[in-house]
A = this chain, B = another copy of it.
Amino acid sequence: MDLAAASAAPRHLLAAGRAAETKVDPELAGVGRGFNMSFGPDEEIFGDGEDAAFAYHVVSGAARTFRVLADGRRQVVGFHLPGETFGLEPDATHHVSAESVGPSEIRLVGRKHLDIAAQSDAAVARWLWRQATGELDRLRNHMMLLGRQSAAEKVGAFLLEMARRTVGRDAVDLPMTRMDIADYLGLALETVSRTLAKFEREGVIAMASCRRIQITNPAALAVA
């Protein structure tokens, strides 16, 4: 209905991950009261356990959310690209940490304002709901990946997911390091690198640079 634009041609504007203007979700923009912040590479955006006072909307760049185990092992929970929102928790506390991947521009909107807006504006309320659903679904899909698939399947699924979230269909651009990808997929970074090399040898992908990947044969990346 009123959200047709948002759902049909979703929220990703960036063709190549270079800083550019991105449209903010109309529901989020309507709330007003937000403000933008710039973050440098690897800079903390919020920490696990802190109060969740804001929703974070990526304007440009990218963010990662993650948890660390006591011994330092890290599990990246998700990557967040321009046009996407993260950091919304059902309760008042963050259960993951968040960092900027490269330099990024993030728009912060106070939770309080969001909740108020949701009460008077059904579209905002629906949007909040959809965020929660989407996050749950993302997590379950991610779990499928982590638990039962080979390295090739994991990396393949990752590439397809990134491609899906990128408008410039021709080439996926990866703002994150191999290490980030490895911690996202539950692999060693060397395995990620090797798997990509294998895909390239097989002619499934072409790498313009190590951060810019052309998917030549998407079908070969899909799960068996």
Asked whether B143 lies within 8 Å of A91 as measured between CB atoms, the reply is no
Give the A interface residue count (CB, 8 A): 34
Asked whether A186 lies within 8 Å of B224 as measured between CB atoms, the reply is no
Asked whether A143 lies within 8 Å of B148 as measured between CB atoms, the reply is no
Asked whether B186 lies within 8 Å of A148 as measured between CB atoms, the reply is yes
- Chain B CB within 10 Å, residue with most, of A73, A95, A144, A224: A144
Q: Which of B69, B73, B143, B185 contacts A77 (CB 8 A)?
A: B143
Asked whether B143 lies within 8 Å of A71 as measured between CB atoms, the reply is no
The CA-CA distance from A73 to B149 in the complex, in Å, is 9
Chain A residues 82-109 with CB under 8 Å of chain B are: 89-91, 95-96
Residues of B within 8 A of A223 (CB): 69-71
Binding site for B on A (CB under 8 A): 67, 69-71, 73-75, 77, 89-91, 95-96, 129-130, 132-133, 135-137, 139-140, 142-144, 146-149, 183, 185-186, 223-224
Complex A-B, nearest 3 residue pairs according to Cβ-Cβ distance, in ascending order: A147-B186, A146-B146, A90-B133
List 17 A-B pairs, Cβ < 8 Å.
A67-B144, A69-B144, A73-B149, A75-B147, A75-B148, A77-B143, A89-B133, A89-B136, A90-B133, A91-B129, A91-B133, A95-B137, A139-B139, A142-B143, A146-B146, A146-B147, A147-B185
